[in-house]
Copies of this chain bind each other. A is one copy, B any other.
Amino acid sequence: MTDLSTAKGVYVIAATPFTETGEIDYASMDRMIDFYGEAGCTGITILGMMGEAPKLEAEESIAIVRRFTERAKDMPIIVGVSAPGFAAMRALSKASMDMGAAGVMVAPPPSLRTDDQIVGYYNQAIEAIGSDVPVVIQDYPLVLSVVMTPEVIRRIVENLPSCVMLKHEDWPGLEKISTLRRFESEGKMRHISILCGNGGLFLDFEMGRGADGAMTGYAFPDMLVDTVRLSQEGNVEAAHDLFDAHLPLIRYEQQPGIGLAARKYVMMRRGILKSDAQRKPGASLSAKGKAEIEFLLGRLARKDKRAAL
């Protein structure tokens, strides 16, 4: 079994491909899984927010887990199982692990406020899904409005051995990574893998703070892989050069709502997805928006030929 606590590299957040009429597009899904592998991704995270998980029926979610775990043979699959209640969370976790997932990701519900509520929630979640299931903590205050201090994360990690990874997308969040790594070096916290989300917007500096890589869905995961690798090799200027070339597009994709439309559009242009359709409710790009993305791709292609489409 994969030890997620020592994971490094890129766990790409997978989009869910749909046809124009809203059906799951499995041909595109297969192509996407293969592409992720060729791009050098270490693993894949599915059924996250960007995967339009809440728009799926329960059986569809199961079918998607099956497809990924079967096809992505060498890449561990992490399944987003956040749910309003523990019954659904347990059901999806069990089914996912039975199909060969490497772990599950749990985000705190937006109603949580106090430190104890957050810690208590993870205790209850893990009681529900079983302490043998590796868990990724999702820390995303901008969207979830739940603020976890480093100390709260430390308490969760120390209480719950099955919590092995942090999807870090606090904003700002650089100091948080530094503090967590300091906790580890001081012996106050077990080592966990820290993979950074938030569209990759701060990945260039997150690596220098002690992150192990990225967990995000930027339409050029191959660039994320290179940036992480260059950083880990100590090739800091090259990492920044590559990252900076992509930053205008990363920034464009990082728009709430419309960002997923942009991301799917680029993935369609790269030949991975057949359609950039989202299930409703979903934002769509205007003609002007598409032109802006084409303009960005054109400029990017001068520095990174993968953008020459």
Q: Does A305 contact B (CB under 8 A)?
A: no
Number of interface residues of A (CB under 8 A): 63
A179 — nearest CB in chain B belongs to which residue?
Answer: B286
The copy count of this chain in the complex is: 4
Residues of A10-39 whose CB lies within 8 A of B: none
Q: Does A3 interact with chain B (Cβ within 8 Å)?
A: no
Given A171-B255, A172-B256, A288-B178: A280 touches B114 (CB 8 Å cut-off): no
| A79-B202 Cα distance, complex, nearest whole Å | 33
Which chain B residues lie closer than 8 Å to A187 at the CB level?
Answer: none
- Tell me, rounded to whole Å, the shortest Cβ–Cβ distance linking A148 to chain B: 8
User: Per a CB cutoff under 8 Å, which of B56, B110, B178, B257 touches A110?
Assistant: B110
Q: Is the CB of B55 within 8 A of A87?
A: yes
A248 in complex: contacting residue of B115, B171, B244, CB < 8 Å: B244
Residues of B within 8 A of A56 (CB): 85, 87-88
20 additional contacts (CB under 8 A) given A55-B85, A172-B258: A54-B83, A54-B88, A55-B86, A56-B85, A60-B87, A85-B279, A86-B279, A114-B152, A115-B149, A117-B147, A127-B280, A128-B280, A171-B255, A174-B288, A201-B251, A209-B288, A244-B244, A244-B248, A244-B299, A247-B247
